[in-house]
Structure 1
């Protein structure tokens, strides 16, 4: 069946959401979409984007084996920055002498695959993720597809270019000092920098281990959040992982307060077009109903200076000190110059900087007590590749003006396209908020991006219509997940409706469960949680009810069922039915059906 989307006028299957919808509807198959990505890579013909590509036939076979259309990333091609492990492909960190073959996928890639994504290759980067320019790699410089003379941005250069150029709809980058945000601006795409610890870093080559995070590039905010949702979650393999459940996407708030710097504090290095574009972006926020509140940016600037002038450079040095000692010429000269300074720092320097950082955190917390988020330029200006090669350290540093402080202050961020300048360069803004507010940023950022009416990526694709935000439980309600006889139209659904519960949505669990047919009257299933990603995704429904109704409902649940916490495929959690392990002895395993309705329907045919 031919794809309905070509490089002509009809771009209906370019975003993650559209691709998944087309696969579920049968108008495209995962294998066709994967083949399309490989064909586009050949036609685009920029060998500096990917460091290694997976064998196309192998990827097509994996795509053909997908059988569960409910998977949230069903058949979506994904590119992965080459400092993140993908089994079967070398991890180089853009340094051939450092290259190794990982024995297993990183946790993030494992979760993407479990959600139906197809990994197609490893992308280029500033060596050892040190840089914001995308020119510090022995594998070449990816050409910026928006304006060819500009740097592609780094360090996640290949990942950002691959999405902007339409080669893949989704890619992974990393972000320690802005590497998931600056390339997003320079390529006119979305860059989501999650809260630290939200995505496991197991299988990531560290840059600054205490500050690193895996980031997401996509064409829309909704696509980025969908990817974040399947990767989010604690991981015992990463000691820096946090158990911080991702909230549901929220609607645009009626009273939104956004912080903007005091007059005269922003720096644009003489770029009047960037300064004008930021002012227009602020006016757009006001037109959307936001109240702009001024705050003092100076403590954020001081925090940013700590990153490369303080002891965190020693973390970068730790990663490559053996290589520096044995083969210094194998390291890019600029990367070598930056990281070697980490060897000179003392323990006293480290503690002095930590004390100052803690003081700055307290000061900046007061900013966020006055507003929901702050909005800054993603970068103060743009630079050509020629300019950066001539002045590599200073111009790189300038690009990090509004990004270097973010992880030191434990903030989450969302980089958004804001304008196309008259000179053809893209301009973007970044929303920043305290850790844990990732979904809140997405809820307001998606509305801003849609309101710009900007084409997405480098191919001048129209933005898709903004999808409605799913219904949610109110502040005084509890969300309950039901998997069996309490489903709509089933034998015990009346137990919900008589308590005035209301149906929110159909959903699916993470692939962490097994479903068993229990010997009960009326028939019911029992859902048992097993090891992460080792089970099946089970269809269910989410209902909302008052706390009083929830108490009555739970009190009436007979053994061997009980209420536990259910992990959903999109990273959310809800209270729901689980079964006592002892009760599954002799029970039929019906996990392959993917849900109670499918099992009952098949049983009715027999």
Structure 2
């Protein structure tokens, strides 16, 4: 069982086929933890019997007909997130308390059938990106014990990278859900602020905190987010997100990804620079268009998180404890948090004004791109280096991460290869982050999955390759209809506004199956093609699939003039979709253009 993959998709498939049982999976999980030892990854591990009782309760609910999307999936949570009856330490033994109820996110996961294994180590009070600021032992990268694991969600990143659990929760204020993902070769999904409840989470910077997800694949991470990402009235910072926020969304050919035209910093790590360049090339090969952008506003916003008034929020979170027991706080954390006593109300307002200016400047760059591609970190450091220079090197690790929550953006960190084994830091993983607008979480996950799979990388330090299906936008969201268009309604064509004006979104490009022919119709304004069924037709006609609400689809169909009609098309992958067809009577004088493979290619002949 120690060779078993804990990928959520793989476990779910094994359960469905009967080749795996949740009890056997739990046995394997506890065997791996015992072999590795609890410290320094874990602060508290539930007993095998406690995990078994969770499973029994989930099995009873499943037998009663409950929908349990994460049934039998083992997970961990960072120890600044409450679990009923288990101490919450936030990495500080003297701060510990035992909550009566679990954090909202934990309870939702348990309700979905997931099995909690334990609570993981962290940089104390979630202050750090390194994993060295803890009295419970220093977790290291799963690839080299000399190097840091990343923090503050250090234990969670290592637990997934080492194959101890299927997924783990972290928190991410400044990059703590992304840096450990990069250093342990896993995916780190940082949701949009407010998408996931922070009720029952010890705050770091309450206005900027986000509960994050570590998983082996973007598909697994998104599956967890769908369970967690609902509005929570108990959290005053929870937000009612659009339904599409956690749904997969397609990226059209030519999507624009931003890369800094200057300001890239790798701190002397040439291998990291080459891996970032390769990731940009790979994103172009996946259909993206590279757009140089001005990184200045993002970089300047990043500097505000620790040099501006948001440091005072860290003091606000633990002020009474810090005043009563300053000696109980890790020296580096104490220096950062208590240093906020010099920040006044005027400084706070000045910082907010400055951030607003930078967000407005950043909007000009977002108008030129759909997604921003960045290194997750410019480099990595050994534990010895971090202990010798804890503040400056920590700041270097936040160069590409600190601005994201301040500017209310979504992000997902994804593996991007390994440094050569014979060079400095040889064999250590590198990662990139895709940054998107507010509530672009589902769309980012799709692109991250494509980028991840294009490299054929294993999950963490395991030998397991992703086994689940690629994350895609193949099924329509509830209350919507997919429509295939082949001519004047294609993006950039004269009638496309009839779709976009109804709020339709482009899902993907595709091709028809065999049995179709395409004709350029005579005397139409604007010029239109006609797609007809013909058993002798070769098919392979390029089309676009758009998604509309049912109401918008109905109003659109009502405006379709003859000789056009809406029927059901068969695609080359065997699936079906509603789409445009043409009445055969309209083919008088029409030109057969099937051989061009699509309307656009005929227009540019």
Identify the TM-score tier after normalising by the shorter chain: 0.7 to 0.9
Q: In the TM superposition, what is the alpha-carbon distance from 1:468 to its structure 2 partner?
A: 5.9
Q: In the TM superposition, what is the alpha-carbon distance from 1:32 to its structure 2 partner?
A: 1.9
Q: In the TM superposition, what is the alpha-carbon distance from 1:55 to its structure 2 partner?
A: 2.0
Q: In the TM superposition, what is the alpha-carbon distance from 1:441 to its structure 2 partner?
A: 0.3
Alignment of 1:84 with 2:75, yes or no, is no
Alignment of 1:249 with 2:248, yes or no, is yes
In 1, the alpha carbon distance for the partners of 2:46 and 2:256 equals: 46
Q: Given that residues 247 and 477 in structure 2 are in contact (C-alpha distance below 8 angstroms), is that contact kept between their aligned partners in structure 1?
A: no
Match of 1:527 in 2: none
Change (3 A) 1:233 1:545: closer
Instruction: Choose from 2, 7, 17 the match for 1:7.
Output: 2
In 2, the alpha carbon distance for the partners of 1:545 and 1:340 equals: 52
Q: In the TM superposition, what is the alpha-carbon distance from 1:545 to its structure 2 partner?
A: 7.5
Match of 1:18 in 2: 10
Alignment of 1:98 with 2:90, yes or no, is no
Match of 2:349 in 1: 351
Q: Given that residues 153 and 180 in structure 2 are in contact (C-alpha distance below 8 angstroms), is that contact kept between their aligned partners in structure 1?
A: yes
Match of 2:461 in 1: 458
Which runs of 5 or more structure 1 residues have no equivalent in the other structure?
1-5, 480-542, 552-606
Instruction: Choose from 402, 407, 410 the match for 2:408.
Output: 410
Task: Give the secondary structure class of the aligned counterpart of 1:135.
Answer: coil
Change (3 A) 1:179 1:468: closer
Q: Given that residues 219 and 449 in structure 2 are in contact (C-alpha distance below 8 angstroms), is that contact kept between their aligned partners in structure 1?
A: yes
In 1, the alpha carbon distance for the partners of 2:246 and 2:224 equals: 14
TM-superposition CA deviations, 1:417-466 (whole Å, max 9, x none) = 00111111110000001111001101111000000111210123223254
Change (3 A) 1:64 1:362: same
Change (3 A) 1:424 1:468: closer
Instruction: Choose from 17, 36, 39 the match for 2:31.
Output: 39
In 1, the alpha carbon distance for the partners of 2:481 and 2:216 equals: 33
Q: Given that residues 193 and 214 in structure 1 are in contact (C-alpha distance below 8 angstroms), is that contact kept between their aligned partners in structure 2?
A: yes
Task: Give the secondary structure class of the aligned counterpart of 2:361.
Answer: helix
Task: Give the secondary structure class of the aligned counterpart of 1:66.
Answer: helix
Q: Given that residues 229 and 246 in structure 2 are in contact (C-alpha distance below 8 angstroms), is that contact kept between their aligned partners in structure 1?
A: no
Task: Give the secondary structure class of the aligned counterpart of 2:405.
Answer: coil
Q: Given that residues 381 and 399 in structure 1 are in contact (C-alpha distance below 8 angstroms), is that contact kept between their aligned partners in structure 2?
A: yes
In 2, the alpha carbon distance for the partners of 1:477 and 1:331 equals: 53
Kindly report which structure 2 residues correspond to 1:140-219, keeping only aligned pairs within 5 A, or say none.
Answer: 140-219=137-216
Kindly report which structure 2 residues correspond to 1:386-405, keeping only aligned pairs within 5 A, or say none.
Answer: 386-405=384-403
Q: Given that residues 190 and 414 in structure 1 are in contact (C-alpha distance below 8 angstroms), is that contact kept between their aligned partners in structure 2?
A: yes
Match of 2:304 in 1: 306
Change (3 A) 1:58 1:447: same
In 2, the alpha carbon distance for the partners of 1:236 and 1:405 equals: 27
Structure with the greater alpha carbon radius of gyration: 2
Alignment of 1:295 with 2:293, yes or no, is yes
Task: Give the secondary structure class of the aligned counterpart of 2:44.
Answer: strand
Task: Give the secondary structure class of the aligned counterpart of 2:291.
Answer: strand
Q: Given that residues 301 and 401 in structure 1 are in contact (C-alpha distance below 8 angstroms), is that contact kept between their aligned partners in structure 2?
A: yes
Change (3 A) 1:199 1:545: closer
Alignment of 1:432 with 2:419, yes or no, is no
Match of 1:319 in 2: 317
Q: In the TM superposition, what is the alpha-carbon distance from 1:250 to its structure 2 partner?
A: 2.2
Change (3 A) 1:468 1:332: closer
Match of 1:135 in 2: 132
Kindly report which structure 2 residues correspond to 1:435-450, keeping only aligned pairs within 5 A, or say none.
Answer: 435-450=438-453
Task: Give the secondary structure class of the aligned counterpart of 1:176.
Answer: coil
TM-score, structure 2 as length reference: 0.77
In 2, the alpha carbon distance for the partners of 1:395 and 1:161 equals: 20
Q: In the TM superposition, what is the alpha-carbon distance from 1:474 to its structure 2 partner?
A: 8.7
Kindly report which structure 2 residues correspond to 1:323-334, keeping only aligned pairs within 5 A, or say none.
Answer: 323-334=321-332
Q: Give the stretch that moved more between structures: 371-380 or 69-78.
A: 69-78
Instruction: Choose from 319, 324, 335 the match for 1:337.
Output: 335
TM-superposition CA deviations, 1:281-310 (whole Å, max 9, x none) = 111111111100010001111101111000
Q: Given that residues 146 and 188 in structure 1 are in contact (C-alpha distance below 8 angstroms), is that contact kept between their aligned partners in structure 2?
A: no
Task: Give the secondary structure class of the aligned counterpart of 1:299.
Answer: helix
TM-superposition CA deviations, 1:388-422 (whole Å, max 9, x none) = 01111111110000001110000010000001111
The runs of 4+ residues in structure 1 deviating greater than 6 Å are: 548-551
In 2, the alpha carbon distance for the partners of 1:332 and 1:186 equals: 23
TM-superposition CA deviations, 1:121-155 (whole Å, max 9, x none) = 00000000000000100111113211221101000
Task: Give the secondary structure class of the aligned counterpart of 2:239.
Answer: coil
Task: Give the secondary structure class of the aligned counterpart of 1:258.
Answer: strand
Q: Given that residues 478 and 547 in structure 1 are in contact (C-alpha distance below 8 angstroms), is that contact kept between their aligned partners in structure 2?
A: no
Match of 2:496 in 1: none
Match of 2:551 in 1: 547
Q: Given that residues 257 and 290 in structure 1 are in contact (C-alpha distance below 8 angstroms), is that contact kept between their aligned partners in structure 2?
A: yes
Alignment of 1:236 with 2:236, yes or no, is no
Q: Superposition RMSD on alpha carbons, in Å?
A: 2.1
Aligned pair count reads 481
Task: Give the secondary structure class of the aligned counterpart of 2:105.
Answer: helix
In 1, the alpha carbon distance for the partners of 2:17 and 2:548 equals: 29
Change (3 A) 1:49 1:468: closer
Q: In the TM superposition, what is the alpha-carbon distance from 1:316 to its structure 2 partner?
A: 0.3
In 1, the alpha carbon distance for the partners of 2:41 and 2:310 equals: 29
Q: Given that residues 34 and 63 in structure 1 are in contact (C-alpha distance below 8 angstroms), is that contact kept between their aligned partners in structure 2?
A: no
Q: Given that residues 80 and 173 in structure 1 are in contact (C-alpha distance below 8 angstroms), is that contact kept between their aligned partners in structure 2?
A: yes
Change (3 A) 1:16 1:476: closer
Q: Given that residues 31 and 64 in structure 1 are in contact (C-alpha distance below 8 angstroms), is that contact kept between their aligned partners in structure 2?
A: no
